[in-house]
């Protein structure tokens, strides 16, 4: 999955009350004093028919991979996952699969929220105290592309 870079996402409110205190004062953070380091999103289970879409790999390659899974791989359904910026691409892939199959394929999309963790490391490690960790949310989409049961 890609690094979330959607500017809209940063304003996603942090609601989870259980972690409100851990997502320490992100607002008054001075950008000069801290280095932001994004951790990777939590790894999700990966079956053979899971495709995680990213923004680095070529679009055509990812599309071809999905097609291969559906046609050559013998899977009746595959799951396409996209996070943040890659949502668009995931949708595109799914829709293109559908169009190229002349309607034989169906889509079932689900959305979810993925919690991401950022580390804020103080520039001046001695006095600024602890590095902070904060969480932020990003949207994700999971599209099931499948042949409907006859």
Partner 1 sequence: MSAAKAKMREKKMRNQPASVQYPSGVNGEGGSQNRGHGSGGHPSSKERKKPEDTGWVRGHQRYGGGYSKEMPKYITGGAFARARAAEVKAMLRAVSQTACSSHVFQALPKHMRRRAMSHNTKRLPRRLRDVADRMREKSLQAGSKKKKEPAKSKSRKARRRHGNLLLDFNRRQRKNIWLETHIWHAKRFHMVKKWGYCLGDRPTYKCYRSCYRAMSSHCLLQDLSYYCCIELKGEEDELLAALSQMTSKEAGPTFAAALCLSGRRQVSVTIYRIGQYPCQPLGPVTVLWRPKTPGIRGRQLWIWAHPTLKQDLLPELQSVCRCWEAVPPSIDPEVLCGKEKSAPHPKPENILEAKLKPGAKRKRSSVDASEPPVKKILGDGTRLPGTTVTWKSSSTGIVINDLTMEIVRYRLIGPQSHSVLTEALEAATVCKEVDKSLGSTFWWPQHCSDESNMLLHQQQADVFHTLKGISSTTELPPGTVLGLTVDDPRLTLPTKKMKVLPCVSQAQEADEDKRKELILRGVPEQCCQSSLWEESVRDDVTENKIPEQALNRMKSEMLVPGSRLSPTPPQGRVPVLLVHQPGKQVGQEMSSWGAGWDLLLPKGWGMAFWIPLVYRGVRVAGLHMGLKHSHSKAAPIFPHDFPDCPAGIRFQEEQEAEFLDKFKRHPPAKRTNYIKHGCLAPFRCPWQQLAEEWEHLTRGGGDEPAEMSVAKPLSLFIVLRNRKSLRLLSGWCRPTTSTGRRLNRELLPLSQSAVTSFLSAHGMSLVWVRLSLLSKGRPELHSMVCVPTAEDLKLLGKHQDLQEPPHRDHFKSRIKPQKKSLKSDDPEPRSTPDSDLIFGLWPDPLPSVTSHCSRVTLGWTTQGDFSLCAGHGEALGFVSVPGLLNTLLKQAGEHRGTLLLRNPGSLHYRFAKVNVEV
Partner 2 sequence: MKGPAPLRGLSPLFLSLPLNHTDTPPVSICEAAPVPYVSSWRTEPTSQSITEDELGLQGRRPSCRPPPQLQPMPKREGFKKVCRTEEESPCPFPGLPSGVLEMRVKEGSKIRNLMGFAMARMQGEKAGSGEGASSAGLRQVVFTGSGRAVTKTITCAEIMKRKVGCLHQLTKLQYKVVKEVWESDQGGASEMTVHRTVPSISILLSKDPLDPREPGYQPPEALSALWEDKDGAEPAAPTCKRPHVAASHSSFLQPKRLCLGEGVSVLPPH
3 binding partner (options partner 1, partner 2, none; Cβ < 5 to 8 Å by kind): partner 1
Give the x-and-dash track for 70-89 against partner 2 (CB under 8 A): ---------x----xx-xxx
Task: State yes or no: residue 56 binds partner 2 (CB under 8 A).
Answer: no
In which order are the strands placed within the sheet that holds 106-122? Answer: 34-38, 106-122, 132-146, 77-83, 50-52
Task: State yes or no: residue 109 binds partner 2 (CB under 8 A).
Answer: yes
- Using the minimum distance from each CB to partner 1, give the nearer residue, 91 or 117: 117
- Using CB under 8 A as the binding rule, the residues of this chain from 111 to 130 that contact partner 2 are 111-113
43 binding partner (options partner 1, partner 2, none; Cβ < 5 to 8 Å by kind): partner 1
Task: State yes or no: residue 27 binds partner 1 (CB under 8 A).
Answer: no
Task: State yes or no: residue 135 binds partner 2 (CB under 8 A).
Answer: no
Give the chain as a 3 state SS string: CCCCCCCCHHHCCCCCHHHCCCCCCCCCCCCCCEEEEECCCCCCCCCCCEEECCCCCCHHHHHHHHHHHHHCCCCCEEEEEEECCHHHHHHHHHHHHHHHCCCCCEEEEEEEEEEEEEEEEECCCCCCCCCEEEEEEEEEEEEEEECCCC
Residues within the interface to partner 2 (CB under 8 A): 6, 8-9, 11-13, 15, 44-45, 47, 50, 59-60, 63, 79, 84-85, 87-89, 91-96, 99, 106-113, 137, 139-144
């Amino acid at each position: 999955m890609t690094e979330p870079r959607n500017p809209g996402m940063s304003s996603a409110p942090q609601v989870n009350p259980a972690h409100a205190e851990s997502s320490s004062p992100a607002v008054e953070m001075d950008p000069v004093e801290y280095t932001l380091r994004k951790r990777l999103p939590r790894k999700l289970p990966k079956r053979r028919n899971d495709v995680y879409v990213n923004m680095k790999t070529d679009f055509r390659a990812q599309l071809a991979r999905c097609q291969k899974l559906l046609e050559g791989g013998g899977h009746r359904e595959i799951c396409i996952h996209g996070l943040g910026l890659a949502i668009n691409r995931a949708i595109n892939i799914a829709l293109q699969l559908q169009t190229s199959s002349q309607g034989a394929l169906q889509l079932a999309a689900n959305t979810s929220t993925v919690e991401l963790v950022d580390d804020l490391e103080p520039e001046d490690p001695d006095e600024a105290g602890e590095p902070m960790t904060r969480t932020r949310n990003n949207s994700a989409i999971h599209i099931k592309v499948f042949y409907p049961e006859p």
